[in-house]
Structures are given as structure tokens and as C-alpha cells.
């Protein structure tokens, strides 16, 4: 039996109603949608939210995300970054990793806070989603609360050119405010959270290191996997 155009439209409208409840969504405070919030108001809001200058804390107070294009295939970037030992190359101050008794966790030194500052790291990666996350902490390796989230994207997909785009995000965990394990820290040492104001600049410099190292290795056909031997 053939449907009339009117019947078809009625079925489509009914399906939309069952899928999206506009009245319910409009009742939620702070939700702005075309059906319940005028375009003029939305434009005004966008204008109010757009500035030529933003306070540093407004942009980087709770979350810090940096991004970079790297002229290197995504698979090579992934193979390099998934190795905890790569951090000894491209970070400014993390060095001397060695295995610990905790499965998957390595212990190194973060020289930005002195030779006595231990840093622990477990790298969790997914080839399917092209993510590499570094779960870290100073002083102890049981509670890895400093999480460095990285996603590797094909530049062909998003920029229409060969290479990779790397996105790196940090969230301001409450422990940045106060050391949760002061008894494990060297005496009179600064706390990592005291440096949060400089995280954007410091991480950007390290991302530039990552870009330079990977592009050099790719251009010169140097190894990026299996313990990163040249």
C-alpha cells in the first residue's frame, strides 16, 4: 500500500517527536537550542562570549589543551609516543626511566624539581582510537593522578594534507592544589601544582620538541619504535 506524501510527513514528524523531546530540553536551565532560544539572542550571546583578549586563567584555569601539526605519518607518531621511554627525548625534564615492581609503571626523575624528584608513569595506548595517555605522579606510583591525554589524528582527514595532528589535554586534578602525599616528597621542594600557570607554555615547548624530533626522524628514516634506537 502506497503512502501519500502527507502520511509520510506525519510518520517522519512522529519519529522526530519520539527521538527528540523539545519541550523537555527547553525546560533544562542553560540549554540553548533553535526551537526554544531565538537566533537574535543566540547571536548576542556569541558576541558577548567572543573577545580579542582573554584572561589566562579563563582559558587555562581548569583545562589545558594544545595542538600541533606534525609532518609524520600517524602510525609513526603513535609508535613513538606509546613508548614511555620517548618521554626522555621530547619532554623538557623527565629522564632515566626504569621498571618498577608495579606492572606497567616506570620510575624516572623529573629534573625540573631537582634530582631527588621521582616521577612514575604508566602509558595506556589504543591503536584503534589512536590515543596515548600518560598516567603519572610525583613521589609515588600507586596513585597515578596526573593524566596527560593525547589523541593522534590523520592530517589528511582534517587538514587535507599528509601528516598528523596531535591534541594534548590536561585537566586540573584537585591534587594540583595540594600535595596528597607530603610525607613522600623531598624536603623544601616546590609542588607540581605551583607550576600550573606555566603548564600551557611549558607543554607547548614540549610539543614543539615532539614535532621537531618526529619530523627529523621521519625525514632521515630513523627508527621511532622498539625502544627508539637510531
* Rounded Cα distance, 193 and 174, in Å: 9
Q: Are residues 13 and 97 in the same domain?
A: no
pLDDT for res 16: 66
Domain holding 16, by residue range, is 5-49
Q: Are residues 120 and 10 in the same domain?
A: no
pLDDT for 129-163, tens place per residue?
Answer: 999 999 999 999 999 999 999 999 999 999 999 99
Residue by residue, what is the 3-state secondary structure of 54-108? Answer: CCHHHHHCCEEEEEEEECCCHHHHHHHHCCHHHHHHHCCCEEEEEECCCCCEEEE
Q: What is the rounded radius of gyration, in angstroms, for the C-alpha atoms of the chain? A: 24
Confidence of residue 51 (pLDDT cuts 50, 70, 90): very high
CA torsion angle for 190, 192, 194, 196 (degrees, to 10)?
A: 160
pTM of the model: 0.88
pLDDT for 202-229, tens place per residue?
Answer: 999 999 999 999 999 999 999 876 556 5
CATH number, residue 123:
3.30.530.20
Q: How far is CA 212 from the centre of its chain?
A: 19
pLDDT for res 17: 65
Q: Are residues 152 and 74 in the same domain?
A: yes
**Span 179-197, mean pLDDT?**
95
- What total number of domains does the chain contain? 2
Q: Are residues 124 and 208 in the same domain?
A: yes
Amino acid at each position: 500500500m502506497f503512502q501519500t506524501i502527507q502520511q509520510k510527513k506525519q510518520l517522519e514528524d512522529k519519529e522526530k517527536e519520539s527521538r527528540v523531546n523539545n519541550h523537555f530540553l527547553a525546560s533544562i536551565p542553560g540549554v540553548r537550542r533553535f526551537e526554544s532560544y531565538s537566533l537574535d539572542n543566540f547571536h548576542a550571546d556569541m558576541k558577548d562570549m567572543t573577545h580579542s583578549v582573554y584572561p589566562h586563567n579563563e582559558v587555562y584555569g581548569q583545562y589545558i589543551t594544545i595542538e600541533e601539526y606534525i609532518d609524520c605519518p600517524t602510525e609513526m607518531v603513535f609508535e613513538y609516543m606509546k613508548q614511555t621511554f620517548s618521554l626522555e627525548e621530547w619532554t623538557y625534564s623527565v629522564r632515566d626511566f626504569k621498571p618498577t615492581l608495579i606492572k606497567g609503571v616506570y620510575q624516572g626523575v623529573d629534573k625540573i624539581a631537582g634530582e631527588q624528584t621521582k616521577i612514575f608513569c604508566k602509558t595506556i595506548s589504543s591503536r584503534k582510537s589512536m590515543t596515548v595517555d600518560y598516567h603519572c605522579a610525583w613521589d609515588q606510583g600507586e596513585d597515578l593522578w596526573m593524566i596527560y591525554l593525547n589523541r593522534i589524528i590523520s592530517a589528511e582527514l582534517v587538514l587535507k594534507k599528509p601528516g598528523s595532528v596531535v591534541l594534548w589535554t590536561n585537566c586540573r586534578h584537585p591534587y594540583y592544589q595540594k600535595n596528597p602525599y607530603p610525607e613522600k616528597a623531598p624536603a623544601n621542594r616546590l609542588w607540581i601544582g605551583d607550576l600550573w600557570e606555566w603548564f600551557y607554555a611549558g607543554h607547548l615547548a614540549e610539543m614543539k620538541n615532539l614535532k621537531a624530533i618526529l619530523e627529523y626522524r621521519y625525514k632521515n628514516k630513523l627508527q621511532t619504535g622498539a625502544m627508539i634506537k637510531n
